[in-house]
Structure 1
Amino acid sequence: MPETEIDLKRFPTASGVYLMRGEDETVLYVGKAKNLRARLRSYFNAAGDGRGQIPFLMNRVHRIDTMVTDTEKEALILENTLIKKYRPRYNINLRDDKTYLSIRLDPREEFPALQTVRRVRRDGALYFGPYASGSAVRETLKEIYRIFPLRHYPMATCRRRGR
């Protein structure tokens, strides 16, 4: 970190999101943490967190802002939203237009089916997630289908097949 010293004790130990800003106040990086102080401390350790880009990032950081959240899931969603908003240079993975996956279930359907969706809507359906990885969604769906009698196919396919 150039010239500027950061007092790590001022950061909360709660879960939340942090924004690393450059000299011109540009957001360089957005991250989330279970414990903001512990996570931010890892950036200042000699060993760092193992990612090669961190020394380059830390040489450009002049200020760190934090936002406390009630839950880790809330931090995950807020991090994603802020990355989409600011498109920080050092957040490579989430800068695209993709968002986290959720599982959608509409109990009003005659034969409810689960769907994976990237956008949660206010449509009366139930949403579960978000899931950061597609494999986590697939594993969850596999377990749900094993336990509950839900249809796997669109209604049109089910109607064509008959019994």
Structure 2
Amino acid sequence: MSTKNLYSKEAREKIKELAESIDFTMMATDLKSQPFHVIPMSTKEVDHDGNIWFLSNKTSTHNQNIEKENRTHLIYADKGNFEFLSIYGRAHISTDRNRIKELYGSGDDAWFEGEDDPMITAIKVVPDDAHYWDTKNGKVLSLLKMAQGAITGNEPDLGEQGDLKI
């Protein structure tokens, strides 16, 4: 796997590509405690600045943790395509009704009583540090390349990995 660090616009585009295509992430909060609090979250949007947006209940444990200490870690994994993304950053809670309505989708009705539910907040995660692994070939072709490498002794080109510096 080759290393390709990405910067600025390319880094933001890679975060958007992977976070939105993988969608679900494990969001870790209360990082000072062990074990820290981890919950699956669905990515609503990655904006033009590379910030990742989620919807959440204002009384949730992760919201309470963010209010105390806003460091968070997002871990995205698409094992089917061998794509992975790790983001460490700062989370901010917003009650901006217009922003919440922009992010809200019909699938959110399972969690909230419509887009005007007073319990909804938006969480914006601002990345400070990010790293990606992207095979570009998917799982099956990557496994075949690994097998070929094992047989031939040559290191297979499995894709790219690198730091993302916004």
TM-score in terms of structure 2 length = 0.24
Larger Rg: 1
Higher strand share: 2
